[in-house]
C-alpha cells in the first residue's frame, strides 16, 4: 500500500485529487491539509511514501516545504501538483519525483503514482543487457535513446545497439525519470544528451542528440511535460 498525503490550500483541488486517487487500489490517503505547516509536522511524524504538494501556498510554499523535508533526511517522494509551470526546474532541483499541472488529468496522476510505487531509481548506475550468452552492464549515462522498431525494443548508445526483451513501458519504469523521458509512444530519450530542439509539423518537436544521426520526435501528447522538464516556453 502506498501511503499518501495531499497538501493544497484549495479544498476543491484536494477533493478532486482525492477522487482520482480513490480509483487506485494500492493508494491510501492518510492525510489532507490546506495548512502547509501543519502538513509538514504530520509528514515528519508519519513519513508517508508520497506527498502531492501544491507550490503557491501562503506562509510555507511547496519549495520551502520540500527543503525542510530534505533537511530532516526524510525519503518521502514529492509530486508537485500546481497551476504554475514556471517552478519545474526548481522542483526537480529539489529531487521532485514528478511535476503535474492543474487542471488534473487522471492519467498523469496515475503515471506519477506508478513511478512512486516502483520506488526511486535515481541511483541506478548500470543497465544490464544481453549479447549472446553474456550480460553487459551499460553505464546509464552512455544510453542515448531507446525505441520501438519493427515491434522490437532497441537501446542505443553512441557506438552500439542492443535488442531488449521487455516492452518500452517497462523500460521507462526502470530508467531514472530525472534523466530519461518518454517523448513518443516509440521513443525514450536521455535528456542530458539533447543538443538541439527544433519545431516540427503539427505543433511537435524534433530532437538532435550527441553523437547521433537519428532525430527523435516529441509527440503532442508528451509536449507539455517535455517543455516543463527543459524549461522551454
Return the pLDDT at 173. Answer: 76
| One domain, residues 94 and 169 | no
| One domain, residues 163 and 85 | no
Return the pLDDT at 87. Answer: 66
CATH code for position 76:
3.40.50.2300
Residue with grid cell 501544491, as numbered in its chain: 54
| One domain, residues 142 and 110 | no
Return the pLDDT at 225. Answer: 83
| One domain, residues 68 and 35 | yes
* pLDDT tens-digit series, residues 113-146: 888 876 644 456 788 888 888 888 899 999 999 9
- Residue after which a domain boundary falls, among 98, 118, 138: 118
The pTM of this model reads 0.56
CATH code for position 160:
2.40.50.1020
Residues 196-231 as b or e (16 or more Cβ within 10 Å = b): ebeeeeeebbebebeebeeebbbbeebeebbbbbee
Return the pLDDT at 124. Answer: 65
Residue ranges of the chain with pLDDT lower than 50? 120-122
| One domain, residues 34 and 96 | yes
Return the pLDDT at 120. Answer: 45
| One domain, residues 137 and 212 | yes
- Residue after which a domain boundary falls, among 83, 100, 118: 118
| One domain, residues 108 and 134 | no
- Residue after which a domain boundary falls, among 118, 147, 171: 118
Task: Domain of residue 107: give its range.
Answer: 2-118
| One domain, residues 181 and 225 | yes
| Number of independent structural domains in the chain | 2
| One domain, residues 162 and 114 | no
Return the pLDDT at 40. Answer: 93
Burial of 155 (0-12, 13-18, 19+ CB in 10 A): buried
| One domain, residues 72 and 132 | no
User: Beta-carbon neighbour count of residue 33 at 10 Å?
Assistant: 21
Q: Are 204 and 212 in contact (CB under 8 A)?
A: no
Amino acid at each position: 500500500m502506498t501511503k499518501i498525503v495531499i497538501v493544497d490550500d484549495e479544498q476543491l483541488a484536494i477533493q478532486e485529487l482525492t477522487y482520482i486517487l480513490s480509483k487506485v487500489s494500492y493508494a491510501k490517503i492518510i492525510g489532507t491539509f490546506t495548512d502547509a505547516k501543519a502538513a509538514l509536522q504530520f509528514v515528519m511524524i508519519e513519513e508517508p511514501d508520497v506527498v502531492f504538494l501544491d507550490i503557491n501556498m501562503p506562509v510555507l510554499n511547496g519549495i520551502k516545504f520540500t527543503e525542510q523535508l530534505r533537511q530532516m533526511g526524510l525519503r518521502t517522494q514529492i509530486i508537485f501538483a500546481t497551476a504554475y509551470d514556471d517552478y519545474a526546474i526548481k522542483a526537480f532541483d529539489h529531487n521532485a519525483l514528478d511535476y503535474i499541472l492543474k487542471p488534473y488529468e487522471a492519467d498523469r496522476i496515475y503515471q506519477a503514482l506508478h513511478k512512486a510505487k516502483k520506488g526511486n531509481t535515481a541511483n541506478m548506475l548500470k543497465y544490464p543487457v544481453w549479447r549472446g550468452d553474456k550480460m553487459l552492464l551499460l553505464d546509464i549515462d552512455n544510453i542515448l535513446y531507446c525505441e520501438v522498431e519493427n515491434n522490437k525494443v532497441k537501446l542505443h548508445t553512441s557506438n552500439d545497439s542492443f535488442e531488449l526483451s521487455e516492452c518500452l513501458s517497462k523500460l521507462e519504469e526502470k530508467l531514472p525519470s530525472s534523466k530519461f523521458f518518454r517523448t513518443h509512444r516509440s521513443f525514450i530519450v536521455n535528456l542530458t544528451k539533447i543538443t538541439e530542439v527544433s519545431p516540427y509539423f503539427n505543433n511537435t518537436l524534433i530532437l538532435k542528440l550527441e553523437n547521433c544521426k537519428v532525430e527523435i520526435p516529441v509527440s503532442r501528447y508528451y509536449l507539455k511535460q517535455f517543455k516543463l522538464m527543459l524549461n522551454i516556453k
